[in-house]
Amino acid sequence: MNQHARADLAPIPFIDIAAQRRRLGHAIDDAVARVLAHCQFILGPEVREVEADLAAFCGARHVITCASGTDALLLPLLAKGIGPGDAVICPSFTFCATAEAVALLGATPVFADIDEVTFNLDPAAVEVAIATARQLALVPKALIPVDLFGQPADHAALAAIARAEGLFVLDDAAQAFGAGYRNRRIGTLADATATSFFPAKPLGVYGDGGAVFTDDDELAAVMRSLRVHGEGRDKYDCVRVGLNGRFDTVQAAVLIEKLKIFPEEIAARERIARRYSAGLAEVATVPRVPEGATSVWAQYTIRLAPSRRDFLAATLKAQGIPTAVYYAKPVHRQEAYRRFPVAGGSLPVSDRLAEEVISLPMHAYLDEPTQDRIIDAVRNALGS
C-alpha cells in the first residue's frame, strides 16, 4: 500500500455490500447454519417462509420465488403462452434481460421509447409500439414496463392502455422492489411483477435469486408448476414444459434476515438521494420522482452534456470515486437485439439518455462525510 496515499483519495465502493454484511453479522451466519443443519436445500422451509414475508411486505396475494430475476420474467410469459407471432412491448433503455425473456420464447420484443424525466416507458410510445407491431402482422400480447433505477413507471396510464388493448402487464421491477406508487407497493401494480435479488439490487442476496408477484390464483399455480419442470401432482408428473427455476434455500434464509432491515435501508436510500439532489441540482440534471411515487434508488443517476460525462467519470476516478453508465448502449442497439422492431422507427429519448446518464455511488450505508466528498468532487469537476 502506498504510505503516502491521501485519505481524501481513498477508494469509495460503488455499492458497499460488505457494510451491510457487517451489520447483519451473526444473524446471517445463524440463518445459514440452520439450513446446513436441516439439510432441506431444495425448496426448504425458508423458501416458504420468505415467500410469506415478501407477500406481507408488498401486499401481493402470491409470491413465487425463483432462481433469478430473469426467470421471474420468463415464468409469467411462459405461463401466459407467449410465443412466436406475439409482440411484447418493452423499453430499450434497460438491462437486456427484459427483452431476453421475450426473445427466448420466440416472441418479438417491440422496443418503445421512454419519458425523458423518469427514464420509464412513455405511454404515448406504447401506443406507437402497438401500431408498429400490427403493421408487422404481430399480435400485441403483453407489455413490460420497467421501473428503472428503482423508480416506478407510470403504471396507471400504462394499465389503461393495456386494458383497452387486452395486453397482459408484467412489471419488470428487478431494480424497484420496495418502491411505492399511489399508496401501493411494487408487486401489486401489474398482472404480474418480477424482481431480482441479485446482490447489487436494493434487496439482494448472496447469489442469484428472484421472485414473481401476482394476485391471480391460476397464474400463480401455473408458475409454481413451471418453476419445477412443469410438474403436476409431483416432480415425476410433467404436465407442461417448464424449467428448473427454484430459489435456493440458503439464499432464502439470507433474504429473511435482509428483509427485516429493508424498511430502514429504504429510508436511508431516500435520505441519501435527497442529499445528493440538494448538493448537485445546480451543476447537473438530478432525478425527479413524480408526485405519488417513491423510488428505492437502485441507482442515483444524473444527466450531463455528453462532452462532460467522460470528463466527470475520469476526474472522479482519479479521486477514488467510481461511477457507472447504465446504459451506454440501449438494448435495440445491442448485436443480439438489432433485428427486433423499434416503435415508430427510432427511439430518440433512449439514444440521447444513453449519452448523458452517469450514476454515482449509492447504497444504504453511504455515510455523510463520504457522500460530501463525492458531492464536492462532482461540483468541483463541473465547475461550481
Chain residues that interact with ligand PLP, rule: CB under 6 A: 68-70, 94-95, 97-98, 146, 172, 174-175, 196, 198, 208, 210
Q: Which is nearer to ligand PLP, 327 or 365 (CB)?
A: 327
SS3 content of the chain, % helix, strand, coil (to 5): 45, 15, 40
- d(C-alpha 361, C-alpha 276), whole Å: 10
Nearest to 76 by CA among 178, 205, 173: 173
From the CB of 379, what's the least distance to ligand PLP, in Å? 29
Cell 411486505 found at: 57
Residue 43 falls in which region: left (phi positive, over 0), alpha (psi -120 to 50) or beta:
left
Q: Which is nearer to ligand PLP, 97 or 349 (CB)?
A: 97
Q: Which is nearer to ligand PLP, 27 or 96 (CB)?
A: 96
Instruction: Judge whether 150 and 295 are in contact, CB under 8 Å.
Output: yes
The residue type found at 149 is F
Q: Which is nearer to ligand PLP, 315 or 334 (CB)?
A: 334
E strands within 45-198? 62-66, 86-91, 108-112, 139-143, 168-172, 180-181, 184-185, 192-196
Length of the chain: 384
Q: Which is nearer to ligand PLP, 144 or 378 (CB)?
A: 144
Name, in order, each residue with C-beta under 8 angstroms of 264's C-beta and a sequence gap of 6 or more.
Answer: 364
Using CA of residue 200, residue 201, residue 202, residue 208, what is the dihedral sign? negative
Residue nearest to ligand PLP (CB): 69
Q: Which is nearer to ligand PLP, 15 or 146 (CB)?
A: 146
Q: Which is nearer to ligand PLP, 94 or 371 (CB)?
A: 94
From the CB of 98, what's the least distance to ligand PLP, in Å? 5
Name, in order, each residue with C-beta under 8 angstroms of 130's C-beta and a sequence gap of 6 or more.
Answer: 87, 89, 140, 161, 165
Nearest to 288 by CA among 272, 300, 304: 300
Q: Which is nearer to ligand PLP, 92 or 175 (CB)?
A: 175
